Amino acid sequence: MLNVPDKRLALQAYEQILDEVLGARIQPGELLNERRLAEVLNMSRTPVRDALLMLEAEGLLLRQGRIGLQVKQMRIEDYMDALQVRLLLEPEVARLAAGRLAPDVITAITDQLNDILAQAGGGASLVDRGLVRDADEALHGALAEAAGNPQMAQIIRNLRRQTLMFDLRSVPERVDDTCHEHLAIVAAVRDGDGDRAAREMAAHLGRVRDSIIQRLSRR
């Protein structure tokens, strides 16, 4: 079992590698070299190895025999499957979270979304994808935690990380709509209206799904 300092380093390595993957600085299909990652992160190989094992357990990395670990290439079928499960779980999460988010959390998320809308006013290409990802994580993560079911929160966290690996640059027109949909969810949760929060979440995820289907049908 890892001691506290080793566990802290492993979690630090985990977060840094995850950020590289979600930010597309480490590409889908790329093989990860443990020694090179340890050098880049300025750590020993032990916490890096533990971090890679955590990412493998979450399904974000795939073991390729003796070759090593490879960043999962998210197929559209994988994305749609994960989104379908999210559609089953997250409306209920939003319902349970209604009235439970602290005012400062609501304010912080609202400010993030408004910042993105301000950037989007100059064109979707100018929007910082990292900022979009952070705001998305802040909202969905806060709702999952506020719902009070740790197991459900973990399932949703894993599903969201898998869907985040899908290249959503293919639907840049969704940036503005996504922010408004998120703001509607936040407003319902802030007002303590669980039924409305559930409807807004279901509508949001349904529109994400439909936009992907529409884009694929035009190919």
Domains and CATH numbers, the chain: 4-71 (1.10.10.10), 76-217 (1.20.120.530)
d(CA 115, CA 145): 24
pLDDT at 110 over 60: yes
pLDDT band at 150 (very low <50, low <70, confident <90, very high): very high
pLDDT at 45 over 60: yes
pLDDT at 188 over 60: yes
Contacts of residue 91, defined as CB under 8 A and 6 or more positions apart, other chains included, come to 198, 199, 201, 202, 205
* pLDDT attached to residue 25: 83
> Which pLDDT tens digit goes with each residue over 89-106?
999 999 999 999 999 999
Query: With 0-12 CB in 10 A as exposed, 13-18 as middle and 19+ as buried, what is 185?
Result: buried
* pLDDT attached to residue 67: 80
Cβ of 196: how many Cβ atoms within 10 Å?
18
pLDDT band at 3 (very low <50, low <70, confident <90, very high): low
* pLDDT attached to residue 200: 98
Is the pLDDT higher at 141 or at 125? 141
* pLDDT attached to residue 68: 84
pLDDT band at 123 (very low <50, low <70, confident <90, very high): low
- The rounded percent of the chain whose pLDDT value lies above 90 is 46
d(CA 48, CA 9): 8
> What is the mean predicted confidence (pLDDT) over 184-193?
98
Q: Are 100 and 146 in contact (CB under 8 A)?
A: yes
Name the CA radius of gyration of the chain, rounded.
Answer: 18
Is the pLDDT higher at 131 or at 193? 193
> Which pLDDT tens digit goes with each residue over 190-203?
999 999 999 999 99
